[in-house]
Amino acid sequence: MYPTSTPHTSGHLTVSQGHRVFWQEAGNPHGTPILMVHGGPGSGASPTWSRFTDPDRYRVILLDQRGTGRSTPSAGDVDTDLSTNTTAHLIDDFEALRTHLGIERWHVLGASWGSCLGLAYAQAHPDHVISLVLFAVTAGTRTEITWITHDMRRVFPDQWEDFYAAAGPDADPRALPAAYARLLADPDPHIRDTAAKAWCRWEDTHVATAPGFTPDPRYDDPDFRYTFARAVTHYWANDCFLAPGQLLEQIPQVAHIPAVLINGRLDISGPSDTAYDLARHWKAAELVIVGDAAHTASTGGIGAAVVTATDHFAHLD
């Protein structure tokens, strides 16, 4: 992977419903533009994403999705209305930023939730996407959400029982994101904080399948923890605001766009069948399964596979 590039330009862009999204640029200001689509939902962007691209060839665009990072209003404010924070709104925000920056077409790189959102964006605006590099691939389906929040009890039974218990006595075990979303909207800050801690403990659990895994230090920050938990439960309780099977059914929209789909064989959080099924229907997509990797770019050879893909696509514009 390349060294992290320090952002050289940044700003807030006013979009719809009173939201202001924070963006940054790194790398070569005259390079081919690439949009980095972060995960979560709720993680926020980081300059470390620039490590996936050659700083001499790429103009790296980083965006904190609505309610996350330095975008306002924050999902971490319990009074923030999340009804104006949906997949369609985020796609519109990408388009608003593209227009604001004077970019005609750009590459798209997304991870985890960002792979789902990046693909949804490309399907909505295929004429503006040069290539897609997606890793830890997800498609936002009810099956995937139920797998992570219910069926994974088969892998982590004791941790799941704690996760379920923290959702409250009336929680439906097959609808835990909705139960947690209710707790995270409670007026009692203690209830909200307890729920956020429990949710993030489970987040750390279901990605912990690679040797040497260490907990995500971002969850130690109460502001990040609550913002993240509130955003992700909002999206997962609403099936990521996508129709059933939407991304797979709309592959014809992007069939001509070159893509690389990268997954770790040890990724239990986002199993490889999603990437496999998408690639099987996508003529221009290459599937890369990294045998010793799990859900994050720091495991196995995920980072190297992403760099190989972006290096390959750098000549396209």
Question: 73 preceded by cis ω (within 30°)?
Answer: yes
The answer to whether 311 is a known catalytic residue is: no
The runs of H, that is alpha helices, within the chain are 87-100, 113-124, 142-149, 157-165, 176-184, 189-206, 222-237, 246-249, 273-280, 302-313
The counts of H helices and E strands in the chain are 10, 8
Q: Coil, strand, or helix at residue 83? A: helix
Spatial distance between the Cα atoms of 294 and 149, rounded to a whole number of angstroms? 18
**DSSP track, 30-63:** TSEEEEEE--TTTT---GGGGGGS-TTTEEEEEE
Q: Of 74, 112, 269, 272, which one is the catalytic site residue?
A: 112
One-letter amino acid for residue 49 of the chain: W
Is the Cβ–Cβ distance between 121 and 92 less than 8 Å?
A: no
Active site annotation includes 112: yes
Catalytic site residue 267? Answer: yes
- Classified as helix, coil or strand, 139 is coil
Active-site residue, from 150, 267, 269, 272: 267
What does the alpha-carbon distance between residue 28 and residue 92 come to, in Å, rounded to a whole number?
Answer: 25
Of the candidates 66, 12, 69, 62, which has an alpha carbon nearest to the alpha carbon of residue 224?
Answer: 69
Nearest of 258, 248, 246, 309 to residue 278 by alpha carbon: 248
Residues forming the active site: 112, 267, 295
